[in-house]
Copies of this chain bind each other. A is one copy, B any other.
């Protein structure tokens, strides 16, 4: 499959990501026909109203027929059902991808629920916002953000190349890794901070928190994220996230011991290393112009 052959694309799930995807496809692939599907009628209507897609399909079979590219933008938990339902209706050479935050399970599910000849390649466009729903969809949501692709040894090079070109045309910066590596890295840089923020709030007293300042609020901001989304993310990446928590706990134990032993040198060592590494991170991100504005 070549990107030039892309005539019709299907977006399954029309929330913030799916809706934005439809708008971005319209902007960057104006000749491509966009079919949308959502299991909720109200979402289907809203998506049609804002022009997120050209056509709304009433069912999944109808939605995927004739599309060269199918993008799953639903909550990850429903992927097995979607794959089972769409499987028999997919075009033989089509490319199926998704926008989920974990990648091992979607890839495993695709192997289990889709026909062997169907190419599924996981994508993780790292774009989004605190807002949810198609009402907040934006054509520029993906601009300059990172997108991680997770091919496997079974991935066809031409399909991978096509998927790369698709996201690049949507102005994303690409990175490629194996599904397991993706999930391990994301557990550490994304799922662990979320687990941490939630644990910190759970360990805090409501009256005491009222006195808190900007530091506490920033550190815990992501704990206000949607529970169902984060349940899916953590449960589909449970073992890696558990390991990441254990790794952090060891670091916290070190700091706790240094404090209990009244050891300023050990405390300074940890604080200095943290400041140096984070300052370096911010400097590099500024240089790459990938800090959120």
A264 at the interface (CB under 8 A from B): yes
Cα separation A219 to B217 with both chains bound (whole Å): 9
Copies of this chain in its oligomeric complex: 2
Binary contact track A182-193/B, C-beta < 8 Å → 1, others 0? 000100111011
Docked pose: A227 CA to B235 CA in angstroms: 37
Q: Is the CB of B259 within 8 A of A248?
A: no
How far is A197 from B216 in the complex, measured between Cα atoms in Å?
10
Residue of A246, A262, A267 with most partner-chain B CB within 10 A: A267
Chain B CB within 8 A of A3 CB: no
A202 at the interface (CB under 8 A from B): yes
By a CB distance below 8 angstroms, the chain B residues around A42 are none
Contact of A255 (CB < 8 Å), options: B210, B222, B245: B245
Is A44's beta carbon under 8 Å from chain B? no
What is the bound-complex CA distance between A27 and B268, given in angstroms?
A: 38
Contact of A198 with B246 at beta-carbon distance under 8 Å, contacts A206-B280, A274-B223 already known: no
Nearest residue, chain B, Cβ from A205: B188
Give residues 209-261 of A contacting B (CB, 8 Å): 209-227, 230-231, 234-235, 238-239, 241-242, 245-256, 259-260
14 additional A-B pairs beyond A185-B211, A193-B220, A238-B262, beta carbons within 8 Å, are: A189-B208, A190-B215, A195-B252, A196-B196, A199-B252, A202-B251, A202-B270, A209-B281, A213-B292, A214-B292, A218-B219, A220-B278, A223-B271, A249-B252
